[in-house]
Amino acid sequence: MGRIEWAMWANEQALASGLILVAGGIVAVAAQFKGWPFAAYSIAAGVFVCLLEYPRGKRKKGSTMERCGQKYLTAVVKIFGPVTRNYYVRAILHAALAVPAGFLLSTILGTACLAIASAIYLLAAIRGEEWNPIEQKKPPERPPVGGGTIKQPPSMPPPRPPVETRKKQPLEEAAQENPIPVTSEAE
Amino acid sequence: MALCGKSWLANEGSKHLCLLFWFSLNVGLFWKTFLLYYHGPQYYYLHQMLGLGLCISRASASVLNVNCSLILLPMCRILLAFLRGSQKVASRKTRRLLDKSKTFHVTCGVTICVFSGLHVAAHLVNVLNFSMNYTEEFLALNAASYRGEDPRKLLFTTVPGLTGVLMVLVLFLMCTASTYAIRLSDYDIFWYTHNLFFVFYVLLMVHVSGGVLKYQINLEEHPPGCFHPNTSLQEDIPVPGSFEEPFPEYSPEAFPPEPEQFVEKNFVGICTEEPKFQSHFPETWLWISGPLCLYCAERLYRYFRSNKPVTIVSVISHPCNVLELRMRKENFKARPGQYIILHCPRASALESHPFTLTMCPTDTKATFGVHLKIVGDWTERFQDLLLLHSRQNTEILPNFHQRNYPKVYVDGPFGSPSEESLNYEVSLCVAGGIGVTPFASILNTLLYVSPTHLKPFSQ
């Protein structure tokens, strides 16, 4: 268990919690339940959490799978520097965002899920993990072959040894002992 | 074009047929249960109190029942390996269906998640309705203790409510850890959270024993919506649209009314007694007990079978970070293409990892082997434990009995699709790198088994 990166799991949980908050909020606002301002808040909080958590952070070891189209949001999240890089900040932020949604029945599950995500982020922060953006890699410039003097592919084949030395060794003299007889496919 | 269609039917047809069967089973159950609660006379008063939420929650519960029982079956690996091996039990086409067992498990899992969401939403509406539509007429039907009781209190203090909330949280943990990205990067998180399924099943069995939803048992004596001479019914309960006219002209010939006709024709009779309600028998216990017992039996069998450590015969280091491990175990039989799960307590107490067998035991030779590529932390530790000991003892005691290899336990063998390669006339096997391991075992079998049993192919 030494090399588990908890932040990645917390990220998935936070994204799912954001969606649950939005769903619960929409139901309550549409049905105009008592206390629907809480539901309107939970929709806003859910959208914010989804946008913040959509860009996946870079793993310490190995390559990271990017989410579809996350590079635009990565650019935005990167701007805030240490606030979004630090996971303690995220843990506290998610815990704070989760609390108001707990007062309404339809968003109470979103609260519970976001609270769990916040706890896992706290664990990740204690273990020193950080959010690093996945940089877009430019294709590496290929250095010119031969120092830039070769411009055209070769037109003549390379020189070969004379015909007698190119004859193949017969099968009976082959080094390997085949348990099952094989037939050679003569050229 | 005809060949394309025929070939698709032969290769993919049975898979899609099974999926269609599963899908129609789910749709049929959902529809049947929905109609039962919508039209059933034994649920008349409950439906009046709770509305559409009752029907949707019970219908999604029946879909959940089916999927929670089916999801365990693809995980019974010994059973699947047995089905693969016995060519009398299943035809080749049926055996090919077993290759999709993991996909089926994932499909059932996704269905459970989706319908759990629906079930929870519908029950939250029910909780609200239990609180708002508290009825003084039929006290036994109520889940709330008084009108307007806080629905959150109902949710967290009743047995089904509390177990339901806990199940949702467990499902949330399992679901978020099972995404492809997590499985690829941190398989441990997926493995450890997925073992919470046992908690989920225990909670499920307690959840359905709550008995909050009740049905009416004395339909003959008290047909729903009947006319009570002394009191008028349905004063406090808001009547849904379809039951606007519960008291038309009293027709004596309609007593007792047939349950299916009473909704449309609004016949009523005279109530001879108050309605009596009873909780359901937990149907879920019947659904999940079979597969759960099968799965537990299998886990026990696997545990007892793998309890004896194997004897390590040799450890060979190959280039490109590959380690070959040759072992021996009593009564170990395997077919080419199968895999085993290695567990080494000294390397890690909790982890165990699957490896394809590259050499299967034959009639003459009981040794079997695996090739491991040293990639992650467990394989590195395992390699250190194996090579360190052999290096230490080479100068002093060359006899292999004296080598202090760590204890290794082997669970398996389990089946895989590549087992089928020898059952076809022509097999084209394509693999790269460490992926060549199943074919290595097939090639080894071809070398050692008599040519009369198999047809060896050149190249």
Question: Maximum Cα–Cα distance for chain B, whole Å?
Answer: 106
pLDDT value, residue B445? 87
Q: What does the domain layout of chain B look like in residue ranges?
A: 14-158+210-219+275-290, 309-390+404-448
Note the pLDDT of residue B455: 47
Question: pLDDT: is B134 or A15 the higher one?
Answer: A15
SS3 A54: coil
Peptide bond into B282 cis (omega under 30): no
Tell me, what's the pLDDT at B224? 78
Instruction: With a cut of 90, say whether residue B11 has pLDDT above it.
Output: no
* B contact test, residue of A3, A6, A8, A171 with most B CBs within 10 A: A8
- Which pLDDT band holds residue B203 (cuts at 50, 70, 90)? very high
Q: What is the ipTM of this complex?
A: 0.75
Region B327-351: what's the mean pLDDT? 90
Percent of chain A with pLDDT over 70: 79
- Please give the pLDDT value at position B97: 86
pLDDT of residue A145: 60
Whether residue A133 has a cis bond before it, omega within 30° of 0: no
Given a cut of 60, whether residue B44 has pLDDT beyond it is yes
Write the pLDDT tens digit of every residue in A77-118: 888 888 888 889 889 999 999 998 888 888 888 999 999 999
Contact predicate B25/B69, CB 8 Å: no
Mean pLDDT of B6-24: 89
Nearest CA in chain A to B192: A1
User: B309-390+404-448 has which CATH code?
Assistant: 2.40.30.10
Select the residue of A2, A108, A109 nearest B377 (Cβ to Cβ): A2
User: Which range (A115-129, B188-202, B247-261, B432-446) has the least confidence?
Assistant: B247-261
- What is the reported pLDDT for B297? 95
Query: Which pLDDT value is given to residue B324?
Result: 92
Q: What is the pTM of this model?
A: 0.80
Residue that wins the pLDDT comparison between A167 and A115: A115
CB contact under 8 A, B186 and A106: no
B29-43: b (≥16 Cβ within 10 Å) or e: bbeebbeebbbbbbb
Mean pLDDT on A19-41: 85
Q: Per residue in B130-147, pLDDT tens?
A: 888 888 888 888 888 888
What percent of chain B has a predicted confidence (pLDDT) above 90?
34
Instruction: Write down the pLDDT at residue B249.
Output: 45
Sign of CA dihedral B153, B155, B156, B160: positive
Q: Do B180 and A65 touch (CB under 8 A)?
A: yes
Query: What number is the average pLDDT over the span A180-186?
Result: 56
Give pLDDT, residue B241: 44
Query: Which residues of chain A neighbour B120 with C-beta distances below 8 Å?
Result: 109
Q: Which long-range contacts does B382-389 make (Cβ < 8 Å, 24+ apart)?
A: B382/B323, B382/B342, B382/B344, B382/B347, B383/B323, B385/B344, B385/B346, B385/B347, B386/B312, B386/B315, B386/B323, B386/B325, B387/B315, B387/B317, B387/B323
- What pLDDT does A115 receive? 94
Q: How confident is the model at residue B88 (pLDDT cuts 50, 70, 90)?
A: low
Question: Which positions in chain B touch A18 (Cβ < 8 Å)?
Answer: none
pLDDT of residue A95: 92
Chain B residues lying within 8 Å of A94, measured CB to CB: none
Interface test with A, best of B120, B129, B189, B381 (most A CBs within 10 A): B189
Number of A/B CB contacts below 8 angstroms equals 70
Closest C-alpha among B417, B280, B404 to residue B356? B417
CA atoms within 13 A on the CB side of B333: 5
pLDDT of residue B75: 92
Res B264 pLDDT > 50: no
Higher pLDDT, A70 or B335: B335
> pLDDT per residue over B93-112, tens digit each?
888 888 899 999 999 999 99
pLDDT at residue B221, rounded to an integer: 80
Chain B CB contacts of A179 under 8 Å are 447
Residues of B in contact with A178 (CB under 8 A): none
A27 interaction partners in chain B (CB closer than 8 Å): 121
Query: Which of A34-43, B79-88, B449-458 is predicted with the least confidence, judged by mean pLDDT?
Result: B449-458
Say which residue, B393 or B184, is predicted with more confidence. B184
Average pLDDT, whole number, for chain B? 82
Taking an 8 Å cut-off on Cβ atoms, the answer to whether A3 and B177 are in contact is no
* pLDDT for the residue A14: 93
pLDDT at B200: 95
> Nearest CA of chain A to the CA of B55: how many Å?
18
**What's the mean pLDDT in A65-82?**
83
Is residue B417 scored above 70 in pLDDT?
yes
Contacts of A56 in chain B (CB under 8 A): 181
Given this model, what pLDDT does residue B453 score?
Answer: 56
Numbered residues of chain B with Cβ closer than 8 Å to any chain A Cβ:
117, 120-121, 124, 127-128, 151-152, 155, 165, 168-169, 172-173, 175-177, 179-182, 184-186, 188-189, 350, 376-377, 447, 451, 456, 458
Of residues A1, A62, A105, nearest to B185 (C-beta): A62
Q: Which of A147-161, B170-184, B293-307, B382-396 has the lowest mean pLDDT?
A: B382-396
Label residue B239 by pLDDT band (50, 70, 90): very low
